[in-house]
Amino acid sequence: MIGGLFIYNHKGEVLISRVYRDDIGRNAVDAFRVNVIHARQQVRSPVTNIARTSFFHVKRSNIWLAAVTKQNVNAAMVFEFLYKMCDVMAAYFGKISEENIKNNFVLIYELLDEILDFGYPQNSETGALKTFITQQGIKSQTKEEQSQITSQVTGQIGWRREGIKYRRNELFLDVLESVNLLMSPQAPGQVLSAHVSGRVVMKSYLSGMPECKFGMNDKIVIEKQGKGTADETSKSGKQSIAIDDCTFHQCVRLSKFDSERSISFIPPDGEFELMRYRTTKDIILPFRVIPLVREVGRTKLEVKVVIKSNFKPSLLAQKIEVRIPTPLNTSGVQVICMKGKAKYKASENAIVWKIKRMAGMKESQISAEIELLPTNDKKKWARPPISMNFEVPFAPSGLKVRYLKVFEPKLNYSDHDVIKWVRYIGRSGIYETRC
Amino acid sequence: MPYLGSEDVVKELKKALCNPHIQADRLRYRNVIQRVIRHMTQGLDMSGVFMEMVKASATVDIVQKKLVYLYMCTYAPLKPDLALLAINTLCKDCSDPNPMVRGLALRSMCSLRMPGVQEYIQQPILNGLRDKASYVRRVAVLGCAKMHNLHGDAEVDGALVNELYSLLRDQDPIVVVNCLRSLEEILKQEGGVVINKPIAHHLLNRMSKLDQWGQAEVLNFLLRYQPRSEEELFDILNLLDSFLKSSSPGVVMGATKLFLILAKKFPHVQTDVLVRVKGPLLAACSSESRELCFVALCHVRQILHSLPGHFSSHYKKFFCSYSEPHYIKLQKVEVLCELVNDENVQQVLEELRGYCTDVSADFSQAAIFAIGGIARTYTDQCVQILTELLGLRQEHITTVVVQTFRDLVWLCPQCTEAVCQALPGCEENIQDSEGKQALIWLLGVHGERIPNAPYVLEDFVDNVKSETFPAVKMELLTALLRLFLSRPAECQDMLGRLLHYCIEEEKDMAVRDRGLFYYRLLLVGIDEVRRILCSPKSDPSLGLLEDPAERPVNSWASDFNTLVPVYGKARWATISKYQGAKRHGPELSNTTSFATSGSLIPEENKERIQELPDSGSLMLIPNLQLTAEYFEKTWLSLKVAHQHVLPWQGTVHPDTLQMALQVVNIQTIAMSRAGAQPWKAYLSAQDDTGCLFLTELLVEPENSEIQISVKQTEARMETLNSFISVLETVIGTIGDIKS
């Protein structure tokens, strides 16, 4: 149970404070500010105990959200709740920033009132919440809307209301992946760890209560189906992927997944996260970074970094950024790069090399000469890893959407009438190469 | 909440609220109300406009209503008489045709924390419980709990409780979960809501309809259900199987805990469950949500305590990334230290070595301590790495390495030689108190193997005047005296100088006292000095005592998915100690498990040991002073309250036993020499109520048993039992080590 919820800006000013239980006083607001936000050292733990009160905090850009309780609660649950709170707020007013929170503070109080009662989480689905929140204020409700609330709150399916109608039945599938890599510096470049965490996000604008079935190139499914035709297995076998673990939105029938590995569900209206998964095998690493650092005497470093793109030549990677750390005592840097723009940013102690676009199977190189100030500091430079950011139009895990079928028995539209869009975006998570 | 200029603001807002022009314009009116709420949020005292705000509640504008109700809930306790004026509007809203308005009014009314409101809310709540809109029922059900909270210790309304129990069958899932929550609070005194077979099965069937919060809550409530038969138990486990793979980590953890607790008699099922949640836990550990990742890592550590090999093959998942936050890195290092085995030790050490040179001094020190921890099993490799680190000549690294060496030499004497070779030269790079103490201790105890030990100590003696830490001076005195015993010729002169300084010039009383003590000790004779100062140089058996082999899953299952793994058991014990035992009654009733952890606390928590044993019902006071005569008199005057026999093998090592007993605040009055037959020991302890426990331990010759007789000054069964269990744990641990 949550005793209170506070939102602060980066200075520690309270933007929102809502107390649900008697045992949390106003001084709790100040205690968190003094002990955590204004603390000198870096944050030691996302759970802080001050005077036997536990503070769970989450940071979004420069906004702090803190949930407070005196009970022995489930830490994971409280954090999930805070994430949910962020999601709900983002669904209403976009980015969570100080300005947005100040502008929407009435709305936030309204949300806090509905999501938590007496410190217990209540309904938190954005779609379902929209019925209770008077976003634009006064709105005389029609009879129909009123009956909607009743059906919404008594309905069997909590995540979808009845009687949704669209003139154009449309759905969007986004496969969003973030690929994480940690690579050792040795010459052949050994992968220390790599994993992809992905999400399938669906935006559905479908009428009625549609029954959907989602298929992808999951190894287990393909092997199961391939039993009959051995030929097909050998063909598609290469392209199937092994998913380490996956979790689904509440709407997916898990029993069916366990028995048949088929993913069937009635989707919520609007945007939701259908599935979350993780893979560690056969990851397509979109970029390889090959660093070469040479110390020339005590006052000079020579750095050469080659990046190689490793995907189909017809595809284009975007927003590529390579960050090459430099020592603290750098006095000057000369950079030569074949492509893009590179700049030494003294405040960040790094050379930032940006390339707008890069096709697959290409190679690019940057070389830099770093002048160092002689210091008597004996501390050796720790050589932080070279990190990379990018976006590619494919899924690094190799996941492919095979089909998404829609059945709505009661209304007269069929699977063919639904317009479907599929998009793959692979982004870099923590993509580091040690040097 | 005084705030600069708040009076003017209140005055101005009051004026605006009363202004009929503003009242007529809805938007402007609402704007003013918003400003009131904004100031309230910032901590200004806005109770001055209460009257005007109450008036504003009579409106059809729902937003305005919500704002005003929020305001009233905050200030009602300050202005109870004025708040009563609002009750009328609220009551009227409770019968509004719109369910949303009804729910809002009821919720706000129940949240008014002021005396005398009960009589007004009782009827609306009862109506709300039977409302046809589930939105209102949800609010009404929690309203019952709020009402009970207001009453304080008033007696429980039986009819209401029955009504709530029947609402557990409600159609709406949130109503069901709220019923459980509400009943739990109302029946707190009686031990909370009762989960019998029909209720449990009903809840199990509804599980899939609930949202994640509801699922987590119900899983928690199901913990107290005890299946009648094995068959039923496995049916339940089968039914809940899918929740181990839920998309919400909180539900996964809740389900895991339920499995662990329900299957407490089936260790293979427990192991199986832990294998199955490995995937979800690992996923959480590498998730982008850092806070969840942190919580998951804490739980991974918990599991590793019982199953050290559980995550060994996945060790690469726990390698740190440069950009991860500090708290995750520290947890990962701890995990790496615990999952190390023969296959991965090379890679793990390689990785940890990399962290030792991290820019963050904190993190690099944590990595060095972790290597020290691994060194208890893989001594040679680790000592080599640590020695190489000394070569970096970095202050923050050297001091930690030397501290690690100190602990290591004590626990793994075989590495003494290597450590002694590495030490020369370190003194140049140590500035802080802890590091100096460790270095001086090492030089004192193992000085005969380090050629330049006297010269290093001489430097310290020469600079003793400018030394700021008294603890370093104390350590220096002891070390120099020890070294004097093994290398008298080189040390005599500077020992004289140091003693002279400490006795004549030192301001710190403790240092002076120690100086005087050693001086007088030297006067008595060198043999006496030797007898007192030459304690054993290392004791590997203590390592086993501090580092328990395997803890059974059941010892922490009840703490899983709570704050205990996040804070650590010792810290949680101090936090919860003050919160009163009644709230945590069901969790802490198991005194034995707590006492067990008392004697087996890992090293880093040593300083908190004193506070541990008292988290149960028994609290032994530390530093009990009892003379032998008094003990004898009391012993003879009492009857034996309890006597029983434990298995025991081999001879007794009095020192080890005495030290272990000391840890749980049991003092030794007298003890036979090691190897004496029959072997006897007399122990005493006193709890916080003043009750004395006197104990005799007896080992008969050629008998593989130890006989324990306990006498008690006040006859109380439950404290006696907890005392005996503490004692048994200690003896059991020592016995295990010996056999």
Model pTM above 0.80: no
A138 to chain B, minimum CA–CA distance in Å? Answer: 6
Q: Which residue has the tokens 């009827």?
A: B123
Compute the nearest-CA separation of A73 from chain B (Å): 5
Residue B615 pLDDT: 39
Report the chain A residue with the minimal C-alpha distance to residue B62. A138
- Residue B573, chain A, CB below 8 Å: the answer is no
pLDDT at residue B606 in the model: 39
Return the pLDDT at A379.
64
In chain A, which among 154-213 make CB contacts under 8 A with chain B?
A: 154, 156, 158, 178, 180, 182, 192-193, 195, 197
| B488 prior amide bond cis, ω within 30 | no
The parts of chain A modelled with pLDDT lower than 70 are: 127-128, 131-158, 186-188, 224-238, 377-380
Residue B403 lies in a domain: no
Give B107's contacts in chain A (Cβ within 8 Å): 113, 117
pLDDT value at B602 more than 60? no
Quick check: helix, strand or coil at residue B517? helix
- Rounded-to-integer distance, Cα A368 and Cα A305, Å: 9
Q: Compute and round to an integer the Cα radius of gyration of chain B.
A: 33
Give the closest of B100, B220, B562 to A149, CB-based: B100
Cβ-based contacts of A430 with chain B (< 8 Å): 321-324
Which residue, among B247, B257, B276, B584, would best test binding to A if mutated, counting the most A CBs under 10 Å from its CB? B247
Residue B348 is inside which H or E element, if any?
helix B345-355
Q: How many other C-beta atoms can be found within 10 angstroms of the C-beta atom of residue B409?
A: 22
The most confident of A51-55, B599-603, B696-700, by mean pLDDT = A51-55
CB contact under 8 A, A109 and B579: no
pLDDT of residue A149: 46
Which domain, by its residues, includes B695? 628-736
Q: How many whole angstroms separate alpha carbon B146 and alpha carbon B635?
A: 55
User: How many Cβ atoms sit within 10 Å of the Cβ of residue A143?
Assistant: 7
Whether B326 sits inside 8 A of A42 (CB atoms) is yes
pLDDT value at position B700? Answer: 74
What residues form DSSP beta bridges with A279? A196
Helix axes B99-111, B118-129, angle to 10 degrees: 140
The answer to whether B698 touches B713, Cβ cutoff 8 Å, is no
Q: ipTM score of the complex?
A: 0.74
Alpha carbons B561 and B217: distance in angstroms, whole number = 12
- Residue A300 annotated as lining a ligand binding site: no
DSSP state of B722: H
Q: What residue has token string 């002021």? A: B114
Q: pLDDT by residue (tens digit) across B526-570?
A: 888 888 887 777 776 665 555 555 678 888 888 898 898 888 888
> Are residues B392 and A380, on separate chains, in Cβ contact within 8 Å?
yes
Chain B residue numbers touching A73 (CB-CB < 8 A): 562-563
Of the ranges A101-105, A228-232, B41-45, B498-502, which one carries the lowest mean pLDDT score? A228-232
Which residues are B706's β-sheet partners?
Answer: B646
Which positions in chain B touch A76 (Cβ < 8 Å)? 249-250, 253, 284, 292, 295-296, 561
A378 is in an annotated binding site: no
Q: B567: which 2 tokens?
A: 């804070």
- Does A70 belong to an annotated binding site? no
A residues 96-135 lying closer than 8 A (beta carbon) to B: 105-106, 109-110, 113, 117-118, 120-125, 132, 134
Q: A278 vs B173: CB contact, 8 Å cut-off?
A: no
- Check if the beta carbon of residue B634 is closer than 8 Å to that of residue B708: no
* pLDDT at residue number B385: 92
Mutation site, A132, A153, A279, A328, interface B, largest B CB count within 10 A: A153
List the structure tokens of A422: 């599929």
User: Does A356 carry a binding-site annotation?
Assistant: yes
Q: What would the pLDDT profile of B378-426 be if each residue is shown by its tens digit?
A: 988 999 999 999 888 888 999 999 999 998 888 888 888 888 988 888 8
For domain A287-392, give the fold: Immunoglobulin-like (2.60.40)
Helix-helix angle B197-206:B173-186, to 10 degrees: 140
- Using an 8 Å Cβ cutoff, are B179 and B164 in contact? yes
CA distance A56 to chain B (A): 9
Q: Is residue B518 part of a domain?
A: yes
Supply φ then ψ for residue A404, to 5 degrees: -140, 105
Contacts of A82 in chain B (CB under 8 A): 291
How many residues are present in chain B? 739
Residues in chain B within 8 Å Cβ distance of A382: 357-359
Q: Cβ separation of B99 and A153 shorter than 8 Å? A: yes
d(C-alpha B389, C-alpha B368), whole Å: 9
DSSP 3-state of B687:
strand
CA distance B336 to A385: 21
- Predicted local distance difference test score (pLDDT) of residue B544: 54
- Read off the DSSP letter of residue B158: H
Q: What is the mean pLDDT of residues B640-646?
A: 80
Inter-chain CB proximity B63 and A134 less than 8 Å: yes
User: In chain B, which among 380-439 make CB contacts under 8 A with chain A?
Assistant: 392-394
In chain B, residues with a C-beta closer than 8 Å to the C-beta of A278 are: 283, 286
* CATH 2.60.40.1170-classified regions of chain A: 170-225+239-283+397-433, 287-392
- Asked if the C-beta of B169 comes within 8 angstroms of chain A's C-beta atoms, the answer is no
> Does A250 contact B at CB distance below 8 Å?
yes
> Token digits for A408?
């709505």
The per-residue pLDDT for A142 is 41
**Residue B298 burial by Cβ neighbours in a 10 Å radius (0-12, 13-18, 19+):** buried
pLDDT at B548: 53
At residue B550, what are phi and psi to the nearest 5 degrees? -130, 135
Task: Specify the CATH superfamily of domain A170-225+239-283+397-433.
Answer: Mu homology domain, subdomain B (2.60.40.1170)
Contacting residues of B for A323, CB less than 8 Å apart? none
Whether B67 is covered by a domain: the verdict is no
User: Which residues of chain A does B284 touch, with a Cβ-Cβ cutoff of 8 Å?
Assistant: 76
Confidence of residue B19 (pLDDT cuts 50, 70, 90): confident
Asked if A142 is an interface residue toward chain B (Cβ–Cβ < 8 A), one would say no
Q: Kindly state whether A27 is in contact with chain B, defined as any CB-CB distance less than 8 angstroms.
A: no
Query: Which residues of chain A have a CB within 8 Å of the CB of B134?
Result: 153-154
A191-205 and A270-279 strand pairing:
antiparallel
Mutation choice for A interface testing from B41, B60, B311, B615 by most A CBs within 10 A: B41
Are A382 and B296 in contact (CB < 8 Å)?
A: no
Q: What does the alpha-carbon distance between residue B564 and residue B573 come to, in Å, rounded to a whole number?
A: 9
Q: Which residues are bridge partners to B139 per DSSP? A: none
Label residue A360 exposed, middle or buried (CB < 10 Å: 0-12, 13-18, 19+). middle
| pLDDT winner (highest mean) among A183-187, A408-412, B60-64, B499-503 | B499-503
| Overall CATH class of domain A4-124 | alpha beta
| B62, B181, B566 ranked by CB distance to A75: nearest | B566
Give the amino acid at B410: W
**Residue A229 has what pLDDT?**
47
Measure Cα distances from A402 to A213, A240, B469, B642 in Å: 11, 11, 71, 73
- Partners of A121 on chain B (C-beta within 8 Å) are 213
SS3 category, B546: helix
pLDDT, residue B739, reads 46
In the predicted structure, residue B583 carries a pLDDT above the cut 50:
no
User: What is the distance of C-alpha B588 from the center of its chain?
Assistant: 13
Residue keyed to tokens 């209540």: A122
Beta pairing class for A47-50 and A14-19: unpaired
> Is A319 marked as a binding-site residue?
no
* pLDDT given at position B177: 92
pLDDT digits (tens, 9 = 90+) for B231-290: 998 899 888 888 888 888 899 999 999 999 999 888 888 888 999 889 888 888 888 889
Q: B516, B536, B556: which is the final residue of a domain?
A: B536
A52, A117, A378 member nearest B575 (Cβ): A52
H helix intervals, B190-276: 197-206, 212-222, 230-240, 249-262, 267-276
pLDDT for the residue numbered B74: 85
Among A9, A13, A49, A77, pick the best mutation site for testing chain B contact (most B Cβ within 10 A).
Answer: A77
Please, are residues A327 and A301 in contact by the beta-carbon 8 Å criterion? yes
The per-residue pLDDT for B62 is 81
Q: Is residue A80 less than 8 Å (CB to CB) from chain B? A: yes
Check if B212 contacts A (Cβ < 8 Å): yes
Q: In angstroms, rounded to a whole number, what is the distance separating the alpha carbons of residues A2 and A239? A: 47
CATH number at residue B678: 3.30.310.10
Residues in chain A: 435
Residues 6 or more apart whose Cβ sits within 8 Å of residue B45: B1, B2, B3, B6, B10
- For residue B483, is it within any domain? yes
Residue B327 domain-assigned?
no
Residue B736, CA distances (Å) to B269, B368, B723, B733 in order: 27, 31, 20, 5
B76-105 confidence digits (pLDDT tens): 888 888 888 888 888 888 888 888 888 888
Distance from the A143 Cα atom to the nearest Cα atom in chain B, whole angstroms: 10
Question: Which element (helix H / strand E) includes B643?
Answer: strand B642-647
> In terms of CA atoms, which chain B residue is nearest residue A76?
B250
d(CA B146, CA B326): 40
State which of B474, B508, B536 marks the end of a domain: B536
Closest by CA to B603, choosing from B537, B661, B545, is B545
Q: What is the residue-wise DSSP string for B418-480? A: HHHHH-TTGGGG--SHHHHHHHHHHHHHSGGG-TTHHHHHHHHHHTGGG---HHHHHHHHHHH
B579 lies within 8 A of chain A by CB: yes
Rounded Cα distance, A278 and B249, in Å: 14
Q: Are the Cβ atoms of A56 and B291 closer than 8 angstroms?
A: yes
What's CA A262's distance to the chain center, in Å? 25
**Dihedral angle computed from the Cα positions of residues B291, B296, B302 and B308, in that order, rounded to the nearest 10 degrees:** -130
Given B536, B556, B585, which residue is the final one in a domain? B536
Cβ contact, residue pair A146, B290, below 8 Å: no
Closest Cβ opposite residue A380 in set B34, B171, B357: B357
Strand A270-279 relative to strand A245-248: parallel, antiparallel, unpaired? antiparallel
**Is A238 an 8 Å CB contact of chain B?**
no
3-class SS letters over chain A: CCCEEEEECCCCCEEEEEECCCCCCCHHHHHHHHHHHCCCCCCCCCEEEECCEEEEEEEECCEEEEEEECCCCCHHHHHHHHHHHHHHHHHHHCCCCHHHHHHCHHHHHHHHHHHEECCEECCCCHHHHCCCCCCCCCCCCCHHHHHHHHHHHHCCCCCCCCCCCCCCCEEEEEEEEEEEEEECCCCCCCEEEEEEEEEEEEEEECCCCCEEEEEECEHHHHHHHCCCCHHHHHHHHCCCECCCEEEECCCECHHHHHHHCCEEECCCCEEEEEEEEEECCCCCCCEEEEEEEEEECCCEEEEEEEEEECCCCCCEEEEEEEEEECCCCEEEEEEEECCCEEEEEHHHCEEEEEEEEEECCCEEEEEEEEEECCCCCCCCCCCCCEEEEEEECCCCCCCCEEEEEEECCCCCCCHHHCEEEEEEEEEEEEEEECC
